Amino acid sequence: MKYQKLGKTDITVSKVAFGCWGIGGGNVWSDMSVDAAHVADLLDAASDLGINYVDTAPVYGIGHSEEILGKALQGRRDRFIVQTKCSLNWRGEGGEFEYERDGKTVMRDHRASAVRKDVEDSLTRMNLDHIDSLVVHRISRTVPVEETMAELQKMIQEGKIRAVLISNSTPEDFENYSRYGTVAGVQEKLSLFNNAQEVYFPTCDKYEAVFQVYGSLEEGALTGRRFYEKSFGKGDVRANAKWMQEPYRAKTEELFDCLDALAGKYDCSSVNLVQAWTLKQYERLNLLTGFRRAETMQDTCKALDVEISDEDCALIGKLGKAVREAE
């Protein structure tokens, strides 16, 4: 395993992070049903591989992901850097409408009282005395940044949280948040099919921040052809993936042909190549990936040792671009 500092903090995190969105289940991951014992086994496997960074959020399964992760962490807490999020809740106490999911109305609320209650609720659900890293899940355009960050800084001083990141944001948001305290990193989507957030890299350089990637496998669409043979329930995040439709689908065949050929050259899986391509995009990149099986976790860690040539990296990137720009 490889490690890096979480921005300018004293927190050391593994380059691969264990994402717990999927274990929340619900309509979003309709074929996912795991219990705390299964998650505990996954945490043990992660620890054996050197993965110490775990990410969840209150809204993943409307509290379910945090609840079962908290149970699984019992007796294991000292091995992991636990990251969760704030600013999205279903308490009905105000804010801006975000979405309806699993019978709940989720609101975006960055008021000081709301983010504090988010943290307290997460601590209770996970049975923890502190959260290592807290991500502002969505960015508000109505609540002043200084109000949100002032409360987060108070909670750092109180020992409830140790570090702050922001997500689904812009470099301008990072600059604004940084005026009121240290921002250790960002959590943004980046993949072969979606590279818009490359614009963030200079800002991360300026602040020595970590760029944590989610969606590098596009919820499965970049794992290979077998994904396109599956069907998913209504509301499942994978059901509406545009990559499964034409004209994008035809272009994925060219990409997968290339990945299959290169997998033999590099003695790795085609998924490893996608992940290695992602890791090569930025030095301080952190690869956040969801796991339901220890074998998948083991395979992902192999990507850290895959050294793709600049030529092959450019070829993979070119074919990924052809998919996202297909019309």
Contact assessment for residue 211 and residue 166, using Cβ atoms and an 8 Å cutoff: no
Token pair listed for 233 = 């329930």
Distances (CA, A) of 91 to 62, 119, 205, 305: 11, 13, 37, 44
Eight-state DSSP code of residue 47: H
For residue 200, indicate whether it is catalytic.
no
List the catalytic residue out of 3, 53, 60, 180: 60
Contact assessment for residue 219 and residue 30, using Cβ atoms and an 8 Å cutoff: no
Give me the DSSP letters along 86-137: ESEE-S-SS-EEEEEETTEEEEE--SHHHHHHHHHHHHHHHT-S-EEEEEE-
The CA distance from 237 to 249, in Å, is 17
The CA distance from 60 to 23, in Å, is 8
Q: What are the residue numbers of the active site? A: 60
